[in-house]
Chains A and B, each alone.
Chain A
């Protein structure tokens, strides 16, 4: 059985003051190999919690999670992470960062060298490979993070707002890059974002989550990711269905936000 299988996953945080937060409730999800799924939802709906459970950093209070037929019990090289920022190792050069995974497996330069250089080429950092991390711009740093994750050849790539800290132009270029990498490598990818447009562009499947308790609100299957590969993303955005979907989902999230506001006012 290949792919990611999540079954009735629930997560409850017990707070020190005795109360608790139901961050996730009965989340079920199947992801086939090579699928690209974006996750959208208002702040606090449990997106990061879900990703951390898949990554193996958190153990769910109940439910099951399997990758390729075996249980997920902790972090592993089969599930790569790309964080929003601050996850690169400043004490290593760009190339040392990218080759970190293979090196930890005990591979030598001979084994990983060609692949690492190839990845540096793809993300356009060949000229910067000996530079220190703090000498790079934010966009370049995220490209290093992507390359580092890919160099390790994981089965699933988990991204938590990977482009969230970038400016609009850089972000658009990075979106194209993510699509390109997805197509070239055929990896299974889960990408969390706060941008509805990004979720539409970078999701074969799009998951909209709702808060309190965190749960899956709706799921879409979208054509835009396939359209966007090797294309100008602005062309994709001109697609009539794109605008329609965007308005629909924006409205949905607005409604949820309003409901939260209303509820917290009721609680007062």
Chain B
């Protein structure tokens, strides 16, 4: 919640700030437009906003994980670490009261810590010392070393002078002291606002893990093998799907019989999400490569068939007429008119299919795989290795984005006439 409010504050704040600093007045033709609200072409993505947006995400991520990449003053309050002290007041059967101190060393989780040495002090209640990991909590059985123990009705009645009863609590500057129904104290050092690394590791931990896995590998395969396997499956499945789907789509666009025959199948299979086929594919083909490639083949097949079909249907009849009048044969019309005319549609379909395949392969690897990006994050999540999970997600996103960029680039080079007739 707090994070969300900070995010909005940065959004609004940077808007005004950037407007103050940077000259935002539109240049060129747009500068002469008086109507910009509602004119879609006058709205261009603000580069500064994009940069600030990405920085903000990393800033928040770093701030709330205590990242060492950020200067300390930008950190959100972290968990309490160090030595916490408090006093307790105990009462025995005989009505006598005594006070003693508790010293708690709150240490980063994963580090060994020695119980601090304390002087027992005088009186029948003796001073205690404990260690507790940050973000954790621990019981403090303060009666154990006291001269009047539970058998003599030892009961803690106050912490830091504030009265406490079973089930109640006292808030100290170091955190919360609670008392169980049976009268045992427990201490929960202040957690601060930062996330614990097992929930959200700081960015540098993810980068470091990336380095480790890139050089040492994970689960018997290098990082490149994991990603390579995922990509390999996508490419093979997609190519197979396109090789079958495109001719199928053409046939459906050109022949009434083909269209009648395959329409029901394609229209039925199109709305079935490929993920729903995973169980069936596993039953039929097992969890090996074959099963995954069949799954991706099916994911790409319908998309490519539909794209090719609408590419054929979209051909302007005057172009076909013109080609016939110029003496082209059916085969030549196919080759020089119908195929090139359908390429823009096919590229759009290919982009969609690649996206779907990439998503499907990760999902399939989550279910069962020996290697792959999805398998990596699935196994890591079982061991609470959040940094690997995050790294995997980021890599999956980057690769998916990269695939789309490549497809767009190919589209611009191969079908420059798209949307321009």
Contacts and interface: CB of A to CB of B under 8 A. Distances in A.
B343 interface: yes
Most A CB contacts (10 A, CB to CB) among B328, B337, B340, B343 go to B328
A112 interface: no
B144 interface: no
A81 interface: yes
Contacts of A134: 417, 420-421
Contacts, number: 74
B36 interface: no
Contacts of B316: 86-87
A80 B328 CA distance: 12
B61 to A, nearest CB: 45
B336 interface: yes
Nearest to A83: B318
A148 interface: yes
B55 to A, nearest CB: 40
B325 A90 contact: no
A76 interface: yes
Given A104-B332, A132-B416, A79 B343 contact: no
A88 B328 CA distance: 14
Contact of B325 (A81, A105, A132, A133): A81
Interface residues of B, number: 23
A152 B336 CA distance: 16
Interface string B321-343: 11111111100100011001101
Contacts of B321: 55, 57, 75, 81, 83, 87
A80 B325 CA distance: 5
Contact of A80 (B326, B329, B337, B341): B326
Contacts of A80: 325-326
B410 to A, nearest CB: 15
A162 interface: no
A46 interface: no
B336 A89 contact: yes
Given A91-B341, A91-B343, A134-B417, A81 B327 contact: no
A53 interface: no
B319 interface: yes
Interface in A158-216: 158
Contacts of A74: 324
A41 interface: no
Contacts of B318: 83, 86-87
Given A86-B319, A134-B417, A101 B341 contact: no
A77 interface: yes
A224 interface: no
B325 A55 contact: yes
Is chain B's binding surface mostly helix, strand, loop or mixed? Answer: helix
A90 B321 CA distance: 15
Contact of A89 (B319, B415, B420): B319
B324 A89 contact: no
A87 B320 CA distance: 8
Contacts of A152: 326-327
Contacts of A148: 326
Contact of B340 (A55, A89, A101, A154): A89
B327 A90 contact: no
Contacts of A56: 324
Nearest to B329: A104
Most B CB contacts (10 A, CB to CB) among A56, A76, A100 go to A100
B417 A91 contact: yes
B196 to A, nearest CB: 58
Most B CB contacts (10 A, CB to CB) among A56, A74, A81 go to A81
Nearest to A75: B324
B319 to A, nearest CB: 6
10 contacts: A55-B325, A75-B325, A76-B325, A79-B325, A81-B322, A86-B319, A104-B328, A105-B327, A133-B417, A158-B325
Given A87-B321, A91-B343, 19 more contacts: A75-B324, A81-B321, A83-B321, A86-B421, A87-B316, A87-B318, A88-B322, A89-B336, A90-B420, A90-B421, A91-B415, A100-B336, A104-B336, A132-B416, A133-B421, A134-B420, A134-B421, A152-B326, A158-B325
Interface of B: 316, 318-319, 321-329, 332, 336-337, 340-341, 343, 415-417, 420-421
